[in-house]
Amino acid sequence: MDIHEYQAKEVLSNFGVAIPSGALAYSPEQAAYRARELGGDKWIVKAQVHAGGRGKAGGVKLCNSENEIHTACDEMFGRKLVTHQTGPEGKGIYRVYVESAVPIDREIYLGFVLDRTSQRVMIVASSEGGMEIEEISAERPDSIVRSIVEPAVGLQEFQAREVAFNLGLEPRLVQQMVRTLQGCYAAFNELDATMVEINPLVVTGDDRVLALDAKMSFDDNALFRHPHISELRDKSQEDPRESRAADRGLSYVGLEGNIGCIVNGAGLAMATMDTIKLAGGEPANFLDIGGGASPERVAKAFRLVLSDKNVQAVLVNIFAGINRCDWVAEGVVQALRDLEIDIPVIVRLAGTNVEEGQKILAKSGLPIIRATTLMEAAERAVGAWRNDLIQNTKVRAV
């Protein structure tokens, strides 16, 4: 789960990370009022969306008066901000963060991520702040500082000082950097985060180390331990299909293809998508219905997959262990009868109660295409989709 910049800053400030003064606004008038409350003569107005690259896309504006703030916000509110991370569909701007401008001497990149190789939290930092880490890696790889935190002892002060010195910070700023690093690590560790990024972390003209921007992501599976973090979720920034799936206990990721997938198990779901590609098709989604899939759960999965207007065929691939093939078959039949599905449906069942499941499908009298192996199922799904596409094209031509 991702959260907004202003939320990440509030979380990090509670762990001792210094941030500039700022306030949230939901309208141009409120934004101008927030600037008056903050005081000063320069402010930064930032669109609050779950995406990087906001500045290049016009989502960050430097303003010198309340009128400029009102104008900038009037242009932002209600429109879609399109960045290299949002895709062409963009993300809606429904709130902005007004922040006091600060004099910047230098910018630093700072990130905390899970390193899968070492199975540890890794600090990734660079003296070349303000750019995306991918750009830094490509253009200035020598500037990147890496440090792995030993979980048994956490981030020690000597280790944080070492990172600060490797970034070339002046001795008078090192202690502030140590507090920032330790605060970020504490937030990462205690809140089950998967990523903390401050870009840029700035050194100001009056020798302060401030988080000028911040991003945080959290492990969805651990949110039950942190209800105050779970409440920060903004569904308006998420793929509506993925939001519906999460609310129904399903693991779903939307893709750009046209063959919908309903599978049990993440590994099998990945294999199914690969096999569809191998057969010449494009998967429309990743969907893991999990163990113990009842007929009602399978029907929910069908509704979710069919909510994607790009889906032109559905492949159900079940290898039953905890699941039962007869349950899944009942769910498929129920879904096809209730939803009046008019696209090809291909079903491959294997494992527990497979014979009973096959009988239920056969007796249903519904136009279900059955397969015995994954490759056969993928080929039949791609073939059925192509035939359906050709037939629809002929109908339109007539």
The candidate with the shortest Cα–Cα distance to 331, out of 246, 341, 321, is 341
170 is an active site residue? no
Mention every residue, 6+ apart, whose C-beta is less than 8 A from residue 13: 19
Distance of alpha carbon 263 from alpha carbon 286, whole angstroms:
8
54 assigned binding-site residue: yes
**Cα dihedral across residues 50, 52, 54, 57: positive or negative:** negative
Active-site residue (options: 5, 128, 197, 379): 197
Active-site residue (options: 6, 97, 109, 185): 109
Q: Taking a C-beta distance cutoff of 8 angstroms, is the pair 347, 378 a contact?
A: no
75 assigned binding-site residue: no
Q: Taking a C-beta distance cutoff of 8 angstroms, is the pair 43, 69 a contact?
A: yes
102 assigned binding-site residue: yes
Distance of alpha carbon 330 from alpha carbon 364, whole angstroms:
9
55 assigned binding-site residue: yes
179 assigned binding-site residue: no
130 assigned binding-site residue: no
107 assigned binding-site residue: yes
Which DSSP helix (H) or strand (E) runs through 13? helix 5-13
53 assigned binding-site residue: yes
Token digits of residue 192? 């089950």
Beta bridge partners, 100, equal 43
Token digits of residue 352? 């527990």
Mention every residue, 6+ apart, whose C-beta is less than 8 A from residue 313: 258, 259, 260, 343, 344, 345, 346, 381, 382, 384, 385, 388
The candidate with the shortest Cα–Cα distance to 337, out of 367, 380, 304, 307, is 367
197 is an active site residue? yes
Q: 31-67: b or e for each residue (b if 16 or more CB lie within 10 Å)?
A: bbbbbeebeeeebbbbbbbbbbebbebebbbebeebe
Q: Which residues line the annotated binding site for ATP?
A: 46, 53-55, 99, 102, 107
Q: Which residues line the annotated binding site?
A: 46, 53-55, 99, 102, 107, 199, 213, 264
Q: Which residues are catalytic?
A: 109, 197
